[in-house]
Structure 1
Amino acid sequence: MTGFLRFDGAVELDPAIDAWFARQRPTLAALAQPWWARMRGCGDDVRELLHDGVPTACLGDVPFAYVGAYTAHAAVGFFHGADLDDPAGLLEGRGRRMRHVKLRPDGVVAEAALAALVDAAYRHACGLVEDG
Protein backbone atom coordinates (compact mmCIF):
# COMPACT_ATOMS: atom_id res chain seq x y z
CA MET A 1 0.00 0.00 0.00
CA THR A 2 1.43 3.37 -0.91
CA GLY A 3 0.35 6.87 -0.06
CA PHE A 4 -0.74 6.13 3.48
CA LEU A 5 -0.75 8.80 6.16
CA ARG A 6 2.55 9.71 7.83
CA PHE A 7 3.27 12.21 10.60
CA ASP A 8 6.51 14.07 11.23
CA GLY A 9 7.61 14.80 14.75
CA ALA A 10 6.66 11.65 16.65
CA VAL A 11 8.96 11.03 19.63
CA GLU A 12 9.52 8.26 22.14
CA LEU A 13 7.68 10.04 24.98
CA ASP A 14 5.93 13.34 24.34
CA PRO A 15 5.41 15.38 27.55
CA ALA A 16 2.55 17.21 25.81
CA ILE A 17 0.52 14.00 26.09
CA ASP A 18 0.77 13.90 29.88
CA ALA A 19 -0.34 17.54 29.89
CA TRP A 20 -3.24 16.60 27.60
CA PHE A 21 -4.42 13.93 30.04
CA ALA A 22 -4.17 16.41 32.93
CA ARG A 23 -6.55 18.79 31.11
CA GLN A 24 -9.30 16.19 30.55
CA ARG A 25 -12.28 15.47 32.75
CA PRO A 26 -11.02 12.87 35.25
CA THR A 27 -13.71 10.32 34.36
CA LEU A 28 -12.87 10.49 30.66
CA ALA A 29 -9.12 10.54 31.23
CA ALA A 30 -9.51 7.41 33.38
CA LEU A 31 -11.28 5.66 30.48
CA ALA A 32 -8.64 6.61 27.92
CA GLN A 33 -5.45 6.24 29.98
CA PRO A 34 -5.27 2.42 30.11
CA TRP A 35 -5.71 2.20 26.34
CA TRP A 36 -3.03 4.81 25.80
CA ALA A 37 -0.72 2.76 28.00
CA ARG A 38 -1.58 -0.31 25.92
CA MET A 39 -0.65 1.56 22.72
CA ARG A 40 2.63 2.75 24.22
CA GLY A 41 3.40 -0.81 25.27
CA CYS A 42 2.94 -2.38 21.84
CA GLY A 43 6.66 -2.21 21.08
CA ASP A 44 9.90 -0.36 21.66
CA ASP A 45 9.42 1.25 18.26
CA VAL A 46 6.19 3.06 19.22
CA ARG A 47 6.41 6.82 18.95
CA GLU A 48 3.84 9.45 19.89
CA LEU A 49 2.65 12.95 19.26
CA LEU A 50 -0.41 15.13 19.62
CA HIS A 51 -2.19 15.21 16.27
CA ASP A 52 -5.37 17.22 15.85
CA GLY A 53 -5.32 17.71 19.61
CA VAL A 54 -5.32 14.04 20.61
CA PRO A 55 -2.59 11.60 21.68
CA THR A 56 -1.57 9.56 18.65
CA ALA A 57 0.53 6.38 18.65
CA CYS A 58 2.79 5.77 15.67
CA LEU A 59 5.13 3.13 14.42
CA GLY A 60 7.90 5.43 13.30
CA ASP A 61 5.96 8.02 11.34
CA VAL A 62 2.95 5.78 10.58
CA PRO A 63 0.01 6.43 12.94
CA PHE A 64 -1.91 3.39 14.08
CA ALA A 65 -4.13 4.49 16.98
CA TYR A 66 -5.22 7.39 19.16
CA VAL A 67 -7.27 8.21 22.22
CA GLY A 68 -9.61 11.14 22.56
CA ALA A 69 -11.83 12.66 25.24
CA TYR A 70 -15.02 14.37 24.16
CA THR A 71 -18.10 15.77 25.90
CA ALA A 72 -19.73 12.53 27.03
CA HIS A 73 -17.30 9.80 26.04
CA ALA A 74 -13.71 8.85 25.41
CA ALA A 75 -12.62 7.06 22.26
CA VAL A 76 -9.98 4.67 21.08
CA GLY A 77 -9.46 5.22 17.38
CA PHE A 78 -7.65 3.38 14.63
CA PHE A 79 -6.22 5.01 11.52
CA HIS A 80 -6.68 1.82 9.50
CA GLY A 81 -9.62 0.47 11.47
CA ALA A 82 -11.54 -0.51 8.34
CA ASP A 83 -8.80 -3.10 7.70
CA LEU A 84 -9.04 -4.70 11.15
CA ASP A 85 -10.98 -7.84 11.99
CA ASP A 86 -13.61 -6.93 14.57
CA PRO A 87 -15.47 -10.10 15.61
CA ALA A 88 -16.93 -8.36 18.69
CA GLY A 89 -18.40 -5.54 16.56
CA LEU A 90 -16.84 -2.75 18.60
CA LEU A 91 -15.71 -0.49 15.77
CA GLU A 92 -17.82 2.48 14.72
CA GLY A 93 -17.46 4.78 11.76
CA ARG A 94 -18.11 4.74 8.06
CA GLY A 95 -15.01 6.47 6.74
CA ARG A 96 -12.80 4.91 4.13
CA ARG A 97 -10.14 3.91 6.67
CA MET A 98 -10.65 5.20 10.20
CA ARG A 99 -12.76 3.55 12.90
CA HIS A 100 -13.19 4.15 16.63
CA VAL A 101 -14.59 2.58 19.78
CA LYS A 102 -16.56 4.82 22.14
CA LEU A 103 -15.95 4.43 25.87
CA ARG A 104 -18.67 5.82 28.13
CA PRO A 105 -18.38 6.40 31.87
CA ASP A 106 -21.48 4.29 32.51
CA GLY A 107 -20.67 1.65 29.89
CA VAL A 108 -19.01 -1.71 29.88
CA VAL A 109 -15.81 -2.12 27.89
CA ALA A 110 -15.13 -5.41 26.15
CA GLU A 111 -11.53 -5.23 27.32
CA ALA A 112 -10.17 -8.36 25.64
CA ALA A 113 -11.73 -7.43 22.29
CA LEU A 114 -10.48 -3.84 22.47
CA ALA A 115 -6.99 -5.01 23.48
CA ALA A 116 -7.00 -7.31 20.46
CA LEU A 117 -7.89 -4.36 18.22
CA VAL A 118 -5.04 -2.25 19.61
CA ASP A 119 -2.60 -5.10 19.06
CA ALA A 120 -3.95 -5.75 15.56
CA ALA A 121 -3.63 -2.06 14.65
CA TYR A 122 0.02 -2.11 15.69
CA ARG A 123 0.69 -5.28 13.68
CA HIS A 124 -1.08 -3.73 10.68
CA ALA A 125 1.18 -0.66 10.95
CA CYS A 126 4.20 -2.99 11.08
CA GLY A 127 3.09 -4.42 7.75
CA LEU A 128 2.66 -0.96 6.24
CA VAL A 129 6.15 0.06 7.31
CA GLU A 130 7.65 -3.14 5.91
CA ASP A 131 5.82 -2.73 2.60
CA GLY A 132 6.34 0.85 2.31
Structure 2
Amino acid sequence: METPDDQLAAFAARYAPEIAERGLAAIARLRQRMPGAHRLVYDNYNALAVGFAHGDRAKDAFVSIAFYPRWVTLFFLYGSGLDDPAGVLKGQGARVRHVVLNSVEDLERPEIVALLDQALERQSPAPEGEGPLVIKSISPKQRARRP
Protein backbone atom coordinates (compact mmCIF):
# COMPACT_ATOMS: atom_id res chain seq x y z
CA MET A 1 0.00 0.00 0.00
CA GLU A 2 1.31 3.45 -0.96
CA THR A 3 2.00 5.95 1.77
CA PRO A 4 0.79 9.55 1.41
CA ASP A 5 4.41 10.59 0.75
CA ASP A 6 4.60 8.03 -2.09
CA GLN A 7 1.32 9.33 -3.51
CA LEU A 8 2.48 12.95 -3.41
CA ALA A 9 5.73 11.99 -5.16
CA ALA A 10 3.73 10.15 -7.85
CA PHE A 11 1.40 13.13 -8.35
CA ALA A 12 4.41 15.47 -8.70
CA ALA A 13 6.19 13.10 -11.12
CA ARG A 14 3.50 13.73 -13.73
CA TYR A 15 4.84 17.30 -14.10
CA ALA A 16 7.95 18.36 -15.97
CA PRO A 17 11.01 17.57 -13.83
CA GLU A 18 11.82 21.22 -13.09
CA ILE A 19 8.25 21.92 -11.94
CA ALA A 20 8.10 18.77 -9.80
CA GLU A 21 11.46 19.57 -8.21
CA ARG A 22 10.55 23.22 -7.52
CA GLY A 23 7.15 22.33 -6.08
CA LEU A 24 8.43 19.55 -3.82
CA ALA A 25 11.33 21.74 -2.65
CA ALA A 26 8.89 24.55 -1.83
CA ILE A 27 6.74 22.14 0.20
CA ALA A 28 9.86 20.96 2.05
CA ARG A 29 10.91 24.55 2.85
CA LEU A 30 7.45 25.42 4.16
CA ARG A 31 7.45 22.18 6.13
CA GLN A 32 10.69 23.23 7.86
CA ARG A 33 9.11 26.56 8.73
CA MET A 34 5.80 25.03 9.91
CA PRO A 35 6.55 21.48 11.15
CA GLY A 36 3.27 21.14 13.07
CA ALA A 37 1.06 22.10 10.13
CA HIS A 38 -1.09 19.55 8.37
CA ARG A 39 -0.29 19.23 4.66
CA LEU A 40 -3.54 18.75 2.77
CA VAL A 41 -3.11 17.38 -0.76
CA TYR A 42 -5.65 18.02 -3.51
CA ASP A 43 -4.85 16.51 -6.91
CA ASN A 44 -7.45 18.60 -8.72
CA TYR A 45 -8.55 19.09 -12.31
CA ASN A 46 -6.32 22.16 -12.90
CA ALA A 47 -3.43 21.68 -10.49
CA LEU A 48 -1.81 19.73 -7.68
CA ALA A 49 -2.25 21.79 -4.51
CA VAL A 50 -0.78 21.24 -1.06
CA GLY A 51 -2.34 23.40 1.63
CA PHE A 52 -0.73 24.10 4.99
CA ALA A 53 -3.27 24.17 7.79
CA HIS A 54 -3.56 24.02 11.55
CA GLY A 55 -6.27 21.39 11.20
CA ASP A 56 -7.44 18.78 8.73
CA ARG A 57 -10.11 20.78 6.90
CA ALA A 58 -9.65 22.86 3.76
CA LYS A 59 -10.97 25.92 5.57
CA ASP A 60 -8.09 25.57 8.07
CA ALA A 61 -5.48 26.19 5.34
CA PHE A 62 -3.73 29.55 5.21
CA VAL A 63 -1.01 29.03 2.56
CA SER A 64 -0.61 26.52 -0.24
CA ILE A 65 1.74 25.47 -2.99
CA ALA A 66 0.18 24.70 -6.36
CA PHE A 67 1.85 22.94 -9.27
CA TYR A 68 0.80 23.99 -12.78
CA PRO A 69 2.30 22.75 -16.07
CA ARG A 70 4.55 25.83 -16.46
CA TRP A 71 4.97 27.27 -12.96
CA VAL A 72 4.64 26.79 -9.21
CA THR A 73 2.59 29.23 -7.16
CA LEU A 74 2.55 30.15 -3.47
CA PHE A 75 -0.98 31.10 -2.46
CA PHE A 76 -1.89 33.15 0.60
CA LEU A 77 -5.48 32.09 1.25
CA TYR A 78 -6.18 35.25 3.27
CA GLY A 79 -3.75 37.38 1.31
CA SER A 80 -6.05 40.34 0.73
CA GLY A 81 -5.59 41.29 4.38
CA LEU A 82 -1.80 41.13 4.37
CA ASP A 83 0.40 44.22 4.38
CA ASP A 84 2.36 44.07 1.11
CA PRO A 85 4.48 47.23 0.79
CA ALA A 86 6.70 45.63 -1.88
CA GLY A 87 3.65 44.84 -4.04
CA VAL A 88 4.62 41.23 -4.71
CA LEU A 89 1.15 39.72 -4.22
CA LYS A 90 -0.96 39.23 -7.33
CA GLY A 91 -4.69 38.66 -7.67
CA GLN A 92 -7.89 40.65 -7.39
CA GLY A 93 -10.15 38.21 -5.53
CA ALA A 94 -11.91 38.96 -2.27
CA ARG A 95 -9.41 36.88 -0.22
CA VAL A 96 -6.71 34.97 -2.07
CA ARG A 97 -3.42 36.41 -3.34
CA HIS A 98 -0.45 34.63 -4.90
CA VAL A 99 3.19 34.79 -5.91
CA VAL A 100 4.65 32.72 -8.74
CA LEU A 101 7.84 31.02 -7.55
CA ASN A 102 10.53 31.21 -10.21
CA SER A 103 12.80 29.23 -7.90
CA VAL A 104 12.54 27.74 -4.42
CA GLU A 105 14.92 30.48 -3.25
CA ASP A 106 12.06 32.96 -3.76
CA LEU A 107 10.73 31.68 -0.43
CA GLU A 108 13.75 33.33 1.22
CA ARG A 109 13.17 36.77 -0.31
CA PRO A 110 12.61 39.24 2.56
CA GLU A 111 9.27 40.46 1.20
CA ILE A 112 7.94 36.89 0.91
CA VAL A 113 9.31 35.94 4.34
CA ALA A 114 7.47 38.97 5.76
CA LEU A 115 4.22 37.83 4.11
CA LEU A 116 4.66 34.30 5.47
CA ASP A 117 5.34 35.75 8.93
CA GLN A 118 2.11 37.75 8.77
CA ALA A 119 0.11 34.75 7.57
CA LEU A 120 1.46 32.65 10.44
CA GLU A 121 0.82 35.34 13.05
CA ARG A 122 -2.86 35.40 12.10
CA GLN A 123 -3.31 31.68 12.70
CA SER A 124 -3.98 29.78 15.85
CA PRO A 125 -0.82 28.19 17.29
CA ALA A 126 0.42 25.21 15.32
CA PRO A 127 -0.13 21.81 16.85
CA GLU A 128 2.87 20.30 18.62
CA GLY A 129 4.88 17.62 16.88
CA GLU A 130 4.96 16.77 13.23
CA GLY A 131 1.79 17.48 11.28
CA PRO A 132 0.49 14.77 8.96
CA LEU A 133 0.40 14.60 5.18
CA VAL A 134 -3.22 13.90 4.19
CA ILE A 135 -4.43 13.07 0.68
CA LYS A 136 -7.78 14.87 0.64
CA SER A 137 -8.95 14.39 -2.95
CA ILE A 138 -7.93 13.04 -6.32
CA SER A 139 -9.92 14.28 -9.29
CA PRO A 140 -10.76 11.55 -11.79
CA LYS A 141 -10.53 14.06 -14.66
CA GLN A 142 -7.41 16.21 -14.93
CA ARG A 143 -5.83 18.57 -17.40
CA ALA A 144 -2.48 17.64 -18.89
CA ARG A 145 0.29 18.10 -16.33
CA ARG A 146 2.99 18.98 -18.85
CA PRO A 147 3.01 21.86 -21.34
Does residue 50 of the first structure (1) align with residue 48 of the second (2)? no
Check whether the contact 2:16–2:69 (CA below 8 A) recurs between aligned residues.
no
- Which stretches in structure 1 are left out of the alignment for 5+ residues? 1-12, 128-132
Cα RMSD of the aligned pairs, angstroms, is 2.6
Does residue 86 of the first structure (1) align with residue 77 of the second (2)? no
Identify the residue that residue 13 of structure 2 maps to in structure 1.
Answer: 22
Identical amino acids, percent of aligned pairs = 29
> What is the Cα deviation at residue 123 of structure 1?
2.1
Normalising by structure 2, what TM-score? Answer: 0.63
Inter-partner Cα distance in structure 1 for 2:85 and 2:21: 26
Inter-partner Cα distance in structure 2 for 1:18 and 1:112: 29
Aligned residue among 26, 31, 46 for 2:22? 31
Inter-partner Cα distance in structure 1 for 2:90 and 2:55: 26
Residues matched between the structures, number: 113
Alpha carbons of structure 1 residues 113 and 32: separation in structure 2 relative to 1, 3 Å: farther
Check whether the contact 1:38–1:118 (CA below 8 A) recurs between aligned residues.
no
Matched residue of 2:124: which SS? helix
Alpha carbons of structure 1 residues 23 and 125: separation in structure 2 relative to 1, 3 Å: farther
- Structure scoring higher RCO (CA < 8 A, sep ≥ 6) equals 2
Q: Higher mean Cα deviation, 30-39 or 49-58?
A: 30-39
Query: Partner letter of residue 16 of structure 2?
Result: R
Check whether the contact 1:75–1:103 (CA below 8 A) recurs between aligned residues.
yes
Aligned residue among 96, 104, 113 for 1:98? 96
Query: Partner letter of residue 92 of structure 1?
Result: K
Check whether the contact 1:79–1:99 (CA below 8 A) recurs between aligned residues.
yes
Q: Choose 1 or 2 for highest CA Rg.
A: 2
